[in-house]
């Protein structure tokens, strides 16, 4: 059975790919440059970071930066 994803699901998946491969500040800049900032940012932020805390985000960012320096 073929499932077709909604546009919102495709955008969400793309954003997750970006976040897993780029620093969050660069993703935000890319997002703004592509004019993808329309819509309900607060809702999207809540969805993206629902399971996160400041400490968990800090840990992920630190690990990301460490891996980038080692590469």
Whether residue 1 is contained in a domain is answered as no
Whether residue 65 is contained in a domain is answered as yes
pTM of model > 0.75: no
Whether residue 34 is contained in a domain is answered as yes
Asked if 48 and 41 count as a contact pair (C-beta separation under 8 A), the reply is: no
The total domain count for the chain is 1
Domain encompassing residue 56: 7-70
Whether residue 54 is contained in a domain is answered as yes
**Alpha carbon 64 to its chain's center:** 13
Q: Which tokens belong to 56?
A: 């968990």
What pLDDT score does 67 carry?
A: 87
What are the pLDDT digits (tens) for 22-68?
988 888 888 877 866 567 777 877 887 888 888 988 898 898 889 88
């Amino acid at each position: 059975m073929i499932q077709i994803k909604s546009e919102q699901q495709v955008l969400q998946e793309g954003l997750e790919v970006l976040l897993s491969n780029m620093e969050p500040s660069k993703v935000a800049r890319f997002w703004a440059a592509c004019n993808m900032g329309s819509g309900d940012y607060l809702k999207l932020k809540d969805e993206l970071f629902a399971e996160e805390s400041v400490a968990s985000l800090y840990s992920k960012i630190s690990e990301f930066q460490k891996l980038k320096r080692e590469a």
